[in-house]
């Protein structure tokens, strides 16, 4: 298995532009997580999907952020419009969980390093 795939690996954009980050989870996993990592705030959970349905988006910073999971093999995280404070590494992770139980490990992608100028 290729693991969790994220694209692009690096993104540099200007303030006000739309940014779309993409994730392909591991086949067979039914849970998908988007995280943001910065030096100041550490690792933050943005949103969690189970069976393609958003379960908890309380970590999404504001309305400029949105995430979708149209099918079991693809998810996007969109920022519109982007701001310099959105600069961070964004990770996608997947796992297999049953209902509300997530006892299994999460498998992380390599991350997308976003720089907003």
Partner 1 sequence: AQSVTQLGSHVSVSEGALVLLRCNYSSSVPPYLFWYVQYPNQGLQLLLKYTTGATLVKGINGFEAEFKKSETSFHLTKPSAHMSDAAEYFCAVVGGFKTIFGAGTRLFVKA
Instruction: Catalog residues that contact partner 1 under the rule CB under 8 A.
Output: 4, 31, 33, 42-43, 45, 48, 50, 55-56, 91, 93, 97, 100-103, 105-111
Pick the closer one to partner 1 by CB: 75 or 111.
111
Provide the minimum distance between the beta carbon of 110 and partner 1 in the complex, in angstroms, as a whole number.
Answer: 5
Provide the minimum distance between the beta carbon of 111 and partner 1 in the complex, in angstroms, as a whole number.
Answer: 6
Pick the closer one to partner 1 by CB: 48 or 65.
48
Pick the closer one to partner 1 by CB: 28 or 103.
103
CB–CB of 12/87 below 8 Å? Answer: no
* Conformational region of residue 96, where left means phi above 0, alpha means psi within -120 to 50, and beta covers everything else: beta
The residue count for the chain:
117
Angle, vertex CA 11, rays to CA 32 and CA 90, nearest 5: 30
Judged by DSSP in three states, 111 sits in coil
Pick the closer one to partner 1 by CB: 74 or 108.
108
Please name every residue paired with 89 in a beta bridge, in sequence order, or none if there are none: 37, 113
Provide the minimum distance between the beta carbon of 93 and partner 1 in the complex, in angstroms, as a whole number.
Answer: 7
Q: Verify cis geometry, omega within 30 degrees of 0, for the bond prior to 8.
A: yes
């Amino acid at each position: 298995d290729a693991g969790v795939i994220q694209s692009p690996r690096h993104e540099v954009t200007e303030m006000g532009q739309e940014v779309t980050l993409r994730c392909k989870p591991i086949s067979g996993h039914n849970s998908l997580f988007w995280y943001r990592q910065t030096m100041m705030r550490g690792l933050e959970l943005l949103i969690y999907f189970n069976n393609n349905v958003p379960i908890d988006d309380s970590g999404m910073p504001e309305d400029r952020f949105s995430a979708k999971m149209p099918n079991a093999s693809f998810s996007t995280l969109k920022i519109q419009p982007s701001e310099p404070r959105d600069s961070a590494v964004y990770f996608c992770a997947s796992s297999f969980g049953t209902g509300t139980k997530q006892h299994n490990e999460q498998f992380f992608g390599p991350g997308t390093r976003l720089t907003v100028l």
